[in-house]
Amino acid sequence: MTISSSLNAGVAGLSANASRLAAISDNIANSATFGYRRVEADFESMVLSTNGGSYSAGGVRATTQRLIDQGGSLVSTSNPTDLAVRGRGFLPVAQTSEVAVSNGNPQMLLTSTGSFRTDSLGRLVTESGLVLLGWPAAPDGTVPAFPRDTSSGLMPVQINVNQLTGEPTTSVSLGVNLPATETDAQASGAPQSLSVEYFDNLGRSETIQVTFTPTVPAIGSSNAWTLTLADSAQAGAVIGEYQLTFDDARTTGGTLLSVNALSGGAYDPATGQVIVSVDGGPIEVGIGRIGTSEGLTQLSNSFAPLSITKDGSPVGNMVSAQVDENGFVRALFDTGVTRTIYQVPLVDLPNPNGLVALDQQTYRPSPESGSFFLWNAGDGPTGDIVAFAREESATDVAGELTAMIQTQRAYSSNAKVIQTVDEMLQETTNIKR
């Protein structure tokens, strides 16, 4: 019985070390595989109950575990849609074959890195057929609220290169200095004008004609101007008229003292803005707050448009896309406009090592991994997303080769045990002779 148990223990040792060698071989084979998480083999002794003075060898059992929570280092690349997770969390992906079937929502898989490039439909896909998933943004670039405990809101990230888009103008800021000498008695009273371009809802270029007309008093200085705003899209119709008075005090000289709306929207002293209605809708025009020099001023003897800023853009072509550290996919247009089109969340689970490992460095949630939650990248326990980067394999080749030597010696030793048992059994057989 004891000799037979020794033979069984030797066989168990061979099997356990063969399993460990298989894990080592897998790790070394994937030492250059991006996103690979190494497999570790552990040995557990098997103890058989004994009676009296006899002892039976129980042998050993090998168990393997993929260390999914231990990632590799990041390396830089030249592709803006090469993505890697720095820290905790996984990128949500799906098989393109499941997306093509369109039979409900595709199964969400997880990966830590991927080299995504657009396919014929503009979707971000890897060479192995994984499509990146994300939440679609609204036309204004905001991402609606989606449920975080399910993947039902995730869609394939699709980038329509050469897509046309335009941004209507909704805000204009006027930074203009008006000549104080023009409000003195016996001044010429000539109006000062400038044109401010804006873009309507269809991306067409229109202008707001801005005219400053000084109030010339009989004596002294009035420090007063009439601001008139006219819209070219409405055949030059006046859309706002305001009476401006500037301060001439020692400490606040040249700043706005009061604004009186003659027509158009009321002046908001908290924001320093008036709202006027052009042909396409309302536009906020910033002229500055009372007592500050952030907008209109009246100083010296020169008319100087110092800073005219506005939002909006003409129609432009999408030329590329990038993913920032918070997972927002931003489309870049040849007009210089950037618009958010998707948000890629990071998936986190209580026990990453409980994930089911699949091909192509992907994983599937399981009861052992716990329930997943979709976080904004960089929020909560998750790390951030790094573009122009890939995650290297977590394999330490030097450590694996060292473990291979140990495994080889252990395997040889177990083979020697079997050989010794065979010789002892042979001696037992020879007793009969």
Q: Are strands 338-343 and 256-263 parallel, antiparallel or unpaired?
A: unpaired
Tell me the DSSP string of 263-319: ESSPEETTTTEEEEEETTEEEEEE---TT-SSS-EE-TT--EEEEEEE--EEEEEEE
Q: Assign 121 to helix, strand or coil.
A: coil
Domain ranges of the chain: 2-70+394-430, 77-163+319-391, 169-311
CA separation for the pair 117, 159 (Å, rounded): 10
CA separation for the pair 263, 242 (Å, rounded): 7
Q: What pLDDT is attached to residue 425?
A: 84
Work out the angle at residue 102's Cα, subtended by the Cα atoms of residues 96 and 104, and round it to the nearest 5 degrees: 115
CA separation for the pair 331, 316 (Å, rounded): 11
Query: Is 60 exceeded by the pLDDT of residue 1?
Result: no
Helices (H), 75-174: 96-101
Asked if CATH classification 2.60.98.20 holds for the domain at 169-311, the reply, yes or no, is yes
Tell me the DSSP string of 395-425: --HHHHHHHHHHHHHHHHHHHHHHHHHHHHH
Task: Tell me the mean pLDDT in the region 269-281.
Answer: 94
- What amino acid is encoded at 52 in this protein? G
Kindly report, residue by residue over 213-242, the tens digit of the pLDDT. 999 999 999 999 999 999 999 999 999 999
Beta bridge partners of 316: 165
Helices (H), 88-219: 96-101
Kindly report, residue by residue over 169-186, the tens digit of the pLDDT. 999 999 999 999 999 998
* Residue whose pair of structure tokens reads 């898989």 in the numeric block: 109
Query: Is 70 exceeded by the pLDDT of residue 144?
Result: yes
Residues 327 and 119: beta-carbon distance below 8 Å: no
Beta bridge partners of 308: 174
Tell me the DSSP string of 305-364: EEEEEE--EEEEEEEEEEE-TTSEEEEEETTS-EEEEEE--EEE-S-GGGSEEETTTEEE
* Residue whose pair of structure tokens reads 């657009």 in the numeric block: 118
Residues 286 and 275: beta-carbon distance below 8 Å: no
And the tokens for 171? 């805000």
For 275, counting Cβ atoms within 10 Å of its Cβ (0-12 exposed, 13-18 middle, 19+ buried), the class is middle
And the tokens for 263? 């027509």
Residues 229 and 276: beta-carbon distance below 8 Å: yes
Kindly report, residue by residue over 287-344, the tens digit of the pLDDT. 999 999 999 999 999 999 999 999 888 877 777 889 999 999 998 887 777 889 999 9
Between the CA atoms of 62, 68, 73 and 77, what dihedral angle is there, to the nearest 10 degrees?
120
Q: How confident is the model at residue 52 (pLDDT cuts 50, 70, 90)?
A: low
CA separation for the pair 34, 366 (Å, rounded): 23
